[in-house]
Every structure is written in structure tokens, then in C-alpha cells.
Amino acid sequence: MIWTREAEEVVNKVPFFVRRRARLEVEKEAARQGSDQVLLKHVIDCRQKFLSGKQSDSKGFQIETCFGSSGCPNRANGSEELAGDLEKMLLSRDIAGFLKGRTSGELKIHHELRICFSDCPNACSRPQIADIGIIGAVRPRVVDTCCTGCSTCLPACAEDAIHVGAGAAVAIIDASKCVMCGKCIDTCPSGAIEEAEKGWRILAGGKLGRHPQLGKEMEGIYSKDEAQEIVQRCLDIYFAHNIGGERLGAILNRIGYDQVRSSALPEPT
């Protein structure tokens, strides 16, 4: 959709990590008003709506992504396919209908269940404060027989997780420091660092508001199917235990995070 210069100028003042969502909302507002271009009026109307907290057309959830798909060189994993599958899953659960039965008045932004993707551990889209945060990850592995101990890979790691062992003189990765960004893999001139595993790190229970908290990470790196299973489990818990439209984090604080990791179905309240 074409944007007028005035509309662009205003939306560009929105913080970068929510700008993508803001642009989509403004474009939806313009389309709703029957326009094929975005005018300043649409930005203002959208802002008014946001300030009043009203989401009359809310699906009851939001799936947000970072700018990884626009060609970001830091991308460890691409979220498009998993995000699309999760969107279908969430739509099939009618979260808006569920929330409307547990809240009074119109659904507001803070009621929505938020799933947030970052395609690498830089986490530009702030997955730590979403109900479910999903972070692209690559676990590196050094092939000792190929490593010459040249140390070229050391400065590539911002976490200081790689060392060249004194005795064997091969690179060693400290798993407790590695955030699985995968940056070291392409820097090795001998191809001695390989991709051992590619997937997703998952956090649950993050939120802002009066009682903010960061999501707790489910230890490990998960495949696309495993990530879907975990989100499914979070939804089962959300539906079984939700009191008054509360956030997933409030529920997990009450019942514990173990059920997210467990394969057993949650006990209804």
C-alpha cells in the first residue's frame, strides 16, 4: 500500500521493534476506511484506537516477528513457516471468543495472547516479554580433526564462548556461554565448525503491565514440530486454567512451569 510522506514521517517515530506491527495496523485501518493509500488521518485514527486500548476486530492473539525475513544477516533460523502454522493453530482455537467469555467489555490489547519470534538471539522483537517467545538458534560443533587451532573463530563470538585448548590446540565451545547464534560457523576457514542442530529456543510466561516478568526458557533447542507441540501445550494450559482473561505468565506462576515441559494434558481447574 502507498504511504503519503506525512503518514510515513509519523509512523517512523514509532520505536523500531513495534513499527512493523504499527504499520500493519495503520494499513488495515486505511483499508477499513476504503482507501488504497495510507494518509496521516489513518495513522491518527489508529493511534486514537491504540490509546483507548480498544481492539474491536481482535483475533484474541498476535504473532509478531523480527525483521529477519527482510534479509537480516544475523538470522539463525527463519520463522515464516512456523509462524504460519502457529497462526492457523491459534485461529482454530477461537481465542477471541474464549477471552470474550472471560472479560467484560471489548477486548483490549493487553488481553491478547502474544507469540513473538526473533530469528536470532539478538531478540530485537523482545520475545522475552511475550506470552510465548520463540528464538531462532543454531548449535555449533567443532570437528576436531578439521580444526587447525588457528583462532580465527575467537573474535566472531561475542560471548567469549570459544577457546583454543592449550594441549590439543583445537577450538572448544563452552556450551554454558553459547547463545546459539551460529555466527562462528561461517568464520572458520577450515570448515571445522558445523551446524550440529538448528531449531528454536522457547520461553513462556513473559509479560509487561503492573507485574512485569521475563518469560522462563524451556531448556534446549526444539525442532519445528516440537515447538508446535509446546505451543499447543501452552494453549491447553491457557484454556484449562485461565481466570478472568489473565496472561499465560500469571497462570504459570500459579500452577508451575513444569506442565509446559510435560507431555501430560493439563488438569482443568
Integer Cα distance of 63 and 125 in angstroms: 11
User: Measured from the CB atom, is 180 or 218 closer to ligand SF4?
Assistant: 180
Contact 72, 122 (CB under 8 A): no
- Sign for the pseudo-dihedral over CA of 87, 90, 94, 98: negative
Contact 143, 192 (CB under 8 A): yes
In the complex, what is the shortest distance from the CB of residue 116 to ligand SF4, in angstroms, rounded to a whole number?
Answer: 10
Q: What are phi and psi of 203, to 5 degrees?
A: -120, 150
User: Measured from the CB atom, is 58 or 77 closer to ligand SF4?
Assistant: 77
In the complex, what is the shortest distance from the CB of residue 208 to ligand SF4, in angstroms, rounded to a whole number?
Answer: 19
Residues that bind ligand SF4 (CB under 6 A): 66-68, 72, 74-75, 118-120, 122-124, 140, 142, 147-153, 156-157, 159, 161-162, 164, 171, 173, 178-184, 188, 190, 192-193
In the complex, what is the shortest distance from the CB of residue 127 to ligand SF4, in angstroms, rounded to a whole number?
Answer: 9
In the complex, what is the shortest distance from the CB of residue 64 to ligand SF4, in angstroms, rounded to a whole number?
Answer: 11
In the complex, what is the shortest distance from the CB of residue 29 to ligand SF4, in angstroms, rounded to a whole number?
Answer: 25
Query: Which residue from 250, 238, 236, 232 is spatially nearest to 82, judged by alpha carbons?
Result: 232
Q: CA 173 → CA 19, 126, 176, distances in Å? A: 36, 26, 9
User: Measured from the CB atom, is 43 or 138 closer to ligand SF4?
Assistant: 138
Contact 237, 252 (CB under 8 A): yes
User: Measured from the CB atom, is 184 or 231 closer to ligand SF4?
Assistant: 184
User: Measured from the CB atom, is 35 or 78 closer to ligand SF4?
Assistant: 78
